[in-house]
Amino acid sequence: MCYTPQASVYAFIIGMVSSSYLLKSDSPDLKVIGGFFLFVSFMQLFDYIFWTTKDDDINRLFTKIACIFNNLQPIVLAFIIYKYKGSVKGKYLVYIYTLFIFLYTNNNWKSLDKTTSDKTMNGSLYWAWNNWKHAGIVYGLFLITITYLSYYNLSVPYNKMLGVFLPFFFFMSYFKYGASHLGRFWCYFAPYAPLIFLFLHPHTSTI
């Protein structure tokens, strides 16, 4: 959830370019990381659309698309791990998350309208799907699933980097902005995370 349309565009471009670079690596672990963050980076494109179409049908359409993209992240991570690593540890946790997120999204789908800025939080965008009933339970499971998949399916040191840093940013977001804006640090972290891996492990790339 960025503060301006320009910030959303910059974050999207940086996330897409750096993630694509990781996908060209020889390392299966970096391919997983690149593929995952490439998918997550689309949230910044959706934010840009929200900033520029606040009161029309395009906003409503992409609000629903963004909700699906957001909630699919752990499931997509599992598929990417399977694609590049050949197997997935924690698949039953993914099944449980899939059931919970399907029920959560389906039960609230009709109430999902449009995404606009929240004047109580310096005008940043407000993602309604993060604040439905039982959101704390569902997105707690969201975080647990991504963390588990990262830690137990990636090799050292990538598993520790992603498996530890990811919950750290969520907790930082919670303590700074509260539960209703839990995804705020995701805007800062997700697009730039691939850059961290590129700078720390440039020798793993074929480019």
pLDDT digits (tens, 9 = 90+) for 158-206: 999 888 878 877 777 777 666 656 666 666 677 888 988 888 775 544 4
Q: Of 123, 130, 116, nearest to 50 (Cα)? A: 116
pLDDT digits (tens, 9 = 90+) for 90-122: 999 999 999 999 999 999 999 999 998 775 555
The rounded distance, in Å, linking the Cα atoms of 152 and 116 is 37
- 61, 21 Cβ separation under 8 angstroms: no
The rounded distance, in Å, linking the Cα atoms of 165 and 185 is 12
Q: Domain residues of the chain, as ranges?
A: 5-204
pLDDT value of position 205: 47
Whole-model pTM?
0.91
